[in-house]
Structures are given as structure tokens and as C-alpha cells.
Structure 1
């Protein structure tokens, strides 16, 4: 065999090895987890007997994933959430780092607030964000108040920041939703 023929055979063998290479881990970065997303209850006041608190399985997957929390932090800065919420400390908009949540502090309730908006200032982001981006933002907001696993929270900020890393934020479990949220002030 000539050296040209050996080179062609070696190339074919190398291509075959590359095509049948090892199986890599598959990560679903760009698709939402499977499941249904029931609408969240905005208050604890419900007719009839008390209903068990149902947390969305989709939201649970986002708040336990460090990649999605980090992406939510990036989106938080890109969409200028800092303009109203001042790095989570509050300003024109309410604080996101404390235990007082007018429309509920569970991840599905935060997602609903992002998508649908709220009276007196919070714009609706439906149509401007994908559902996955809204879940990522909701996961980041939960991380800002220390309500995600320390294993999932990013241990450092991506940019310069005066706030501590999310793994150092004390846990602020949200208190019940505010009953006045269902009765907005007159305009």
C-alpha cells in the first residue's frame, strides 16, 4: 500500500472513531422541563377547607439548578430590574431580599408576577420574555432572599457588586401573602 492509501484509511478510521465517540451528558439548557404549571394562589384565603400548598414541579427544577439561577441573574441585569428593585434591596419597586411578599414568595407566584405584572408599577413581561427566561428570573429572585439550596446558589457575582454572594445571604422565608394585594388602592 502506498502512503497516500494508508493516510486515507487512517482518516476513515479516525472519522469512524469520532462518530462513535463516548456519550456525553445531555443538558436541557434551552427547553422547559416537562409538566403542567397550575396557576398559583395569590393569597392564603381560599373558599372551603384549606388546600395543600402545591408548588410547581417546573419551578422546583429551576430553583435547584445553578445554571438557571446564574442565567436569571444575568437577565435581571439585562432587563434592568435593578432600576426598580435596586439589587433586590427595594427602591421604586419592593425589596426582593426580605420576607414580605405581597403576591406570594413561592417560585410559581414570582413567575406569575413576572409574566402577568402587578398593579401600581410592575409591568407584564408576557411576550417580551420566554417562559424559560421568566422561570430563570424567578429562580434568581428566590436566590436573592436565600430561599434556594446553597449547592445551587452561585458562590460569586459575575460583576462588581456591593452585595454578598448568594451563598452568604441569610434565609428569609416569605411570610404569607398580603391580603390587601387582592384589593388594590383606588386610582
Structure 2
């Protein structure tokens, strides 16, 4: 009888550990708690906008961390949103085009999560539109996590595992990490 009680207790502990131990596939259906400033006080750096122009400010990253970088579902959502918002129109599949590449070691405005978030929300002069107020902040953070995975910045078990469509490059989880280098001044 005692052996049965110990066995059931061990199974209960294993079940609790199995259910609570994996953030990788956790699906969050609400915005993660506060990684943006509470008010839209940052200026837009670009007049280009994907819809009707807005003159109001945008939110900034409160911390320099991505709330989704360890979440496989959110990174895959970021990949979907990257295509959906036509980021590939300028950045192609990360290798660059009209816009700068996102898979290399040289980043014009910084490769840290807060800089990528600022590029999406505030825009950048001479091309990058300001998406602030046009898309929700949680979607911007999902795109940030995906962009980080493009240069090997996400764990292999989190980054998307296959290249969809006609893209002939390696999938994100097969890329080695590319540490960012400061921009070379002419």
C-alpha cells in the first residue's frame, strides 16, 4: 500500500513538472505585462506610415529585453506578421533589398531588442515606416523576436524550423548566431 502511495505521489510530481516546465510552446493570448512605456511619448522618426498618417507619439521599450524570444509560438507568429506587414518587401527574407539585411553582423540602428522595437514603432529616416499606433505592441514584440531569430539570436528549439515558400536559404534554427558589429563610419 505504501509503495502505491509513493508511486502516485511521484507521478503527481512528474505531471506538475511536465505541465509547468515548458515556456517554449506557451501561447499567450493577452499582451505580456509591461515592456512598453505606459504613455506614447516618443517621437516618430519617419513620416512614412502604413496607413493614414498620425502625428501622435508612440510607445518605447521599457526594458531592453524581448518578452517573446523564448517562446516558439510567438516567434512563429512574428514570422507570419513579418510577411503579413510586408517587411519582406524591403528586407526580403532577411538578406536585404531596398532595406538593410537583418541576418548579418552589421546593424545600422542596433540589433538589441529595444532598438529593433524602436525601428518598428518609431520608424527610421529615409525609408523605414513608423508602425506605432498602427499595430499593437505585442505584435511588434513578436516581430522583434522573429527578427532576432533571423540572425541566430533565438535558441534552436525556439526559432522556426523550416523555410516556407520559395525561400532557398537555411531555416532560422539552422543559422549560427551573428554577433552585431558597430556601423563603420566612412
TM-score by length of 1: 0.67
Alignment of 1:66-145 (within 5 A): 66-145=72-151
Where structure 1 has 5 or more consecutive residues not aligned to the other structure, the ranges are: 1-23, 40-53, 181-187
Distance (whole Å) between structure 1 residues aligned to residue 35 and residue 84 of structure 2: 28
8 A contact 1:69–1:152 mirrored in 2: yes
**Structure 1 consecutive aligned stretches of length 4 or more whose deviation exceeds 6 Å:** none
8 A contact 1:55–1:106 mirrored in 2: no
In structure 2, the partner of 1:56 is 64
How many Å apart are 1:36 and its aligned residue? 4.3
In structure 2, the partner of 1:146 is 152
How many Å apart are 1:168 and its aligned residue? 0.9
In structure 1, the partner of 2:3 is none
User: CA distance change for structure 1 residues 90 and 36 in 2, over 3 Å: closer, same or farther?
Assistant: closer
How many Å apart are 1:28 and its aligned residue? 5.2
More helix by share: 1
How many Å apart are 1:32 and its aligned residue? 2.4
Distance (whole Å) between structure 2 residues aligned to residue 124 and residue 103 of structure 1: 14
8 A contact 2:116–2:144 mirrored in 1: yes
TM-score by length of 2: 0.67
Equivalent residue pairs, number: 140
Distance (whole Å) between structure 1 residues aligned to residue 140 and residue 162 of structure 2: 22
8 A contact 2:64–2:112 mirrored in 1: no
8 A contact 1:37–1:56 mirrored in 2: no
